[in-house]
Structure 1
């Protein structure tokens, strides 16, 4: 979060990591008030807030949120302090860091107000906050992938201690995502040559309202997009925003379908007993 010293106001983004280790799309925030220990000559400061509990994240996403009031905060540990993990730090719901001269240090932001920036969200994604995006800019996808590369893959220990709620995916949300996916797919098809269009065409069921593609057809089209995105031979296509947005929405659609039809976790079925 960039924080302008004079007005004590800044703008930033928040990304949330779910139970499966997937990062959300960036949501825009404003930051007002508080203090990060300004020094003479400093015009701005970068601020990083790490929310350590689900409660803090939910409070932030539900509206205006005041650091130190709605959740406890402490300056994040650095160097040897990070390895030591003091009791005060471990109890904090938010760890804060700031950088004003090229070095991140622990910072206190007591009294700072964080609020979702609805206007910025609508401008960036083309839809109001809380609805499916009309478009997914390339930079948003790149940030998610960058964080995924940096993040540990095994969240089993953390998830067991602080389980995340099961996602609620309604048919209306899936239909909205399907429409967004088809709009962006049409834009992608418009820049493709005739020989490429069939290869990246969405399944017919995905193009029709109220129908869902089979698992096989969805897996196949995802595999094709993945192959293009990873091959250096198709870099020019993979770097196009039309391709990246369609690919991102396709993956979002797959996750929504899986979440709306959870598989029951059951023990092995009983064995048949034959009677002679």
Structure 2
């Protein structure tokens, strides 16, 4: 591969021969991959309104983010989890890597709560931008609404000068949106869970045999190859193409992204009043800089208050609350300016007897 984008496959010894799934059933990550395949199938099945095959054929990568949802207590903010697939030097699609899409909802149609988003990347530069940490749409790469239909050579952006073309669908219909300012990031935690799950179901890594890719990943790669008219077989890239590791975020950033995802599961079971009370700072979900320690401490105090009150056991016994509470506590600890600070102590003892007064 041209820029070392498929490091996970080799790091875990993954192969496409003999696809497998984790033995303990479908994981959240596998569900995302399967949903991505469904979204792609449904959009490509819309006669005369599908993504042009020629656009996919010339693409360097495709990101599919099902169910980008509005976070109601954070004005104008949406967040979704999906996958990014890129081409290797031979033009074959490589295994999906997990991504998050976070950003404002300027341009979203009124009343739209969930939107499926597909991003078609035309340049390697924009793909590498994602791999390097965070790609901000519109700022780091030019974005435009993508053309529709097999014969839509350039229905929008006539000269196809944009680096990324966007497609969004809500309730089966294409939605007019603007993704400018939205951030696309690699989800390293989800990558590890998904591909290590495949390794575990194959009996661990003690064998020198390559670990098969999860079946859901193979199905998605095959679908994208078919829709892009690729003649290349679905196959992993050569081992020497994966030697450059991806940029791994700082530990507190990993906690922040996991907290953002987990909190959405909690908010899905709460009414508006509880969402507002247990709301996390907006910076947890967006931007390159996390929230202040004071704002985090205030949120943690509210979670602690609820956890200590027996009246709310129906909530506090739920896994969604407990996991969010735990991650918030870990994130506060990681952000605590006092952690690792130099201790202010008196002078060390001298050779004389210690003062016991």
TM-score (norm 2): 0.39
CA distance in 2, matches of 1:109, 1:52: 16
Aligned match of 2:69: 4
Contact kept, 8 Å, 2:148 with 2:155, in 1: the verdict is: no
Q: How does 1:75-154 map to 2 (within 5 A)?
A: 75-79=145-149, 82-87=152-157, 90-105=160-175, 107-126=177-196, 136-153=213-230
CA distance in 2, matches of 1:147, 1:170: 21
Q: How does 1:28-43 map to 2 (within 5 A)?
A: 28-35=98-105, 37-43=107-113
What is the RMSD of the two structures over their aligned residues, measured on CA atoms? 3.2
- CA drift at 1:168: 7.2
Greater share of helix: 1
When residues 106 and 121 of structure 1 are mapped into structure 2, their CA distance, relative to the original with a 3 A threshold, is same
Kindly provide the CA deviation profile for residues 76-111 of structure 1, in whole angstroms up to 9, marking residues without a partner as x. Answer: 123599334555561100101100121235532000
- CA drift at 1:75: 1.3
The gaps in structure 1 that reach 5 residues or longer are: 156-165, 174-276
Contact kept, 8 Å, 1:34 with 1:113, in 2: the verdict is: no
Q: How does 1:1-276 map to 2 (within 5 A)?
A: 1=65, 2-6=67-71, 8-35=78-105, 37-79=107-149, 82-87=152-157, 90-105=160-175, 107-126=177-196, 136-153=213-230, 169=240
TM-score (norm 1): 0.50
Aligned length: 159
Q: Which has the bigger relative contact order, CA under 8 A and spacing at least 6?
A: 2
Kindly provide the CA deviation profile for residues 231-271 of structure 1, in whole angstroms up to 9, marking residues without a partner as x. Answer: xxxxxxxxxxxxxxxxxxxxxxxxxxxxxxxxxxxxxxxxx
Aligned match of 1:216: none
The gaps in structure 2 that reach 5 residues or longer are: 1-64, 72-76, 198-204, 245-357
CA distance in 2, matches of 1:29, 1:68: 18
Contact kept, 8 Å, 1:125 with 1:135, in 2: the verdict is: no
Contact kept, 8 Å, 2:108 with 2:177, in 1: the verdict is: no
Any idea what SS the aligned residue of 1:142 has?
Answer: helix
Any idea what SS the aligned residue of 1:140 has?
Answer: helix
CA distance in 2, matches of 1:49, 1:35: 16
When residues 116 and 80 of structure 1 are mapped into structure 2, their CA distance, relative to the original with a 3 A threshold, is closer
When residues 21 and 106 of structure 1 are mapped into structure 2, their CA distance, relative to the original with a 3 A threshold, is farther
Which stretch shifts more, 69-78 or 114-123?
69-78
